[in-house]
Structure 1
Amino acid sequence: MGTRNRHATRTIAAGLFAVAGLGLAGCGSEGPETGTDVEDITDGEVVESSAAATEDAGAMAMAYEGDYNQDFYDDVTTYTGQQVTLSAEVSETLAPDAFAIAGAVDPLLIIESEEIPSLDTGQVVQVTGTVQDDFDVVTVEEELGVDLEDEAFADFEGEPYIMATSGEVIEGE
């Protein structure tokens, strides 16, 4: 190998070491680390770390579970898109698949994707579903393939509502 080639090889090697050193310098612990750790990779597949598993379990939990009260009413928009379980009195039955719950707060519309058993005003129900914002009769009719009586839902237009996945009468059967 000539002098010129050795000099070029040393220059390239020095440059590689400098770049590698800069890359390692950026590996400090300034803040939380995210991403995949070496321990998370097995046979070329990413394995869920315990921290990620804990986060996923938290995401599956109910965002709210309890009475339909002033606290829930005040924070309802923070639960949009999340699953909640509410208990309250039926204040009005609007259709075979829709009713309102109330109590000491304004009524909240509950829409079920399947026909629900008939409910009487005053019965206490427990409903699980996803909080939706901005109720629109036409949109809900299209989603569920039903024909709702528009006038019955006029007071709920633009308001948050619950798209229920399950419900049961817990008092007043």
Structure 2
Amino acid sequence: MISIGSNNFLALKEIASKFNIQEETLISMFNELRIKYMYLGGEGYVLESEFINLFKQVEGNDTKTNVQAPRKMYPITEREILIETINILRDKKRISIRELREYLKENMNLSEEDLIINKNRNDTRFDQKVRNLVSHRDGNGLLNYCNYENGYLILKED
């Protein structure tokens, strides 16, 4: 565990070990539940409070049962959009930006914040992140997987 100020960060490697699972399985679960984690010096960490929120004791009629605590929906990150875009390209091989945006909207679990309309625009914060993915393609790693031509993303052949 690392403490920074009043925040405690748990090492993903230690959590995985204690639960007798692979670290990759833990990361996959965190991604699915949209639990934020980070890497420092090549090691993965999660805020202790985020991890603990996964578990909550609920009392009811003389029994206690473990249930998952209600989770705050975090906005989709540009990295999550990038990963999903790469997965889509592996399947479709070629997709227009408009088709990509619609597919992502239908298949990603958008938060209320993602759906907020941008000030002085006619699109959402999520739409802006998809545009950023394309406009920042030189620096975000997207061009490692595909080419961009005339409004289309085209998977690079190995």
Q: Report the TM-score range of the alignment, normalised by the length of the smaller protein.
A: under 0.3
Higher CA-based Rg? 1
Structure with greater strand percent: 1
Give the alignment's TM-score, normalised by structure 1.
0.21
Which structure shows the higher helix fraction?
Answer: 2
